[in-house]
Amino acid sequence: MQYISKYQSPLGKITIAACENYLTGLWFDGQKYFASTLPIEFKEKKLPIFEQTKEWLECYFSGRIPDFLPALRLEGTPFRLAVWEILRGIPYGEVITYKDIAKEIEGKIGRKMSAQAVGGAVGHNPVSIIVPCHRVVSCNGSLTGYAGGVARKLSLLTLEGADITKFFIPAQGTAL
């Protein structure tokens, strides 16, 4: 059974999902792919994993680097899981490009990988913020591709102290 809880962040309401002891989802309400990993039936319930996740979010939104990580259970294709693992390794306040991730995957699987394929996997990340998909930018430095919206991506990077002067918000349809 999947369970949910709500959290009010400075950037809007967040829905958190879990299966007992593992965090399985975290989305800004209304974002693209919202609750995409939730089954049709779920319940609201108080769980320790929700309290841990809210504590992590409180620390994060107060501008501090959380020194713990809620237990995660990510489910997806082997490709998506590999991309999400790379996301988890991006340091606080830093960014990498979709192309960088594609090259890292290429090195692991030994075949060509497109930045667009990586973008699809990044966009379907079910645990926003904690699995930091907001730290991925296009190779030209544009802040595209965040399911929670570019304004939230910019706010998250600003909160982390990333040097946002080198980024720009492109017109719709700009390539990764």
Helix (H, G, I), strand (E, B) or coil at 163: coil
Expressed in angstroms, the distance from the first to the final Cα of the chain is: 37
Helix (H, G, I), strand (E, B) or coil at 99: helix
Has 133 been annotated as catalytic?
Answer: yes
List 19, 59, 133, 139, catalytic entry: 133
Q: Which segments within 29-164 are labelled E, that is strand?
A: 42-44, 96-97, 136-137
Question: CB neighbours (10 Å) of residue 41?
Answer: 7
Q: Which residues are catalytic?
A: 133
